[in-house]
A and B are shown apart, each in its own frame.
Chain A
């Protein structure tokens, strides 16, 4: 079983603050890195799928970067809003089609 680590485990920020979290994964057998947002009482929702070293993806105020050589990805949220409150999951996909999820970063945005 591979280890995918996310930090911090939880985060409280004020509305309007920018924030970022980290996903660390093994640098070998890399195929793709997924980011999902999981709001309470809803299903996880896809944010990004990243495949190439140096990839940068953006969706509104949320962006992500990928470094496959050192095994990490950053997720950034600019100008956090209360509706951004959720758990953010990353998932490491191996060349053998296995998925390994991190435990998530729980974000609370305080109005």
Chain B
């Protein structure tokens, strides 16, 4: 069953803590993306990766970090520098980074305690 999985579904973060959101795909896609959704706003791009070992910042990368050591995995770390991390996070992938349809995971909701 091909697709994108994200875990966990809900994540709680304490003040000053780094947390990592998982995103895995078995679609053999080269490109992967992380988006954040806040109430009343569209999805905003945090980071994207066109290929293994390469990634680029989106508009709201501050306070986040990513890695792309394997084609199928693109974890997102929300660092303590991100002052307003409470949001819904969506991961997506596409065959390539150019024009291609994106396939989305089910999302992770991050809440700050």
Contact = CB atoms under 8 A, between A and B. Distances in A.
A87 to B, nearest CB: 10
Contacts of A77: none
Contact of A49 (B4, B100, B105): B100
Contacts of A100: 42, 45, 59
* Chain A, interface residues (CB within 8 Å), range: 20 to 34
B107 A43 contact: yes
Nearest to A5: B42
A102 B104 contact: no
Contacts of A103: 40-42
Contacts, number: 58
B43 A51 contact: no
B28 interface: no
A43 B100 CA distance: 17
Contacts of A101: 35, 42-44
Contact of A99 (B45, B105, B106, B107): B45
A51 B100 CA distance: 10
Interface string B38-68: 0011111100101000001011000000000
B33 interface: yes
Interface of A: 1, 4, 31-32, 34, 36, 42-46, 49, 51, 89, 91, 93, 97-104
Interface of B: 4, 33, 35, 40-45, 48, 50, 56, 58-59, 90, 92, 97-107
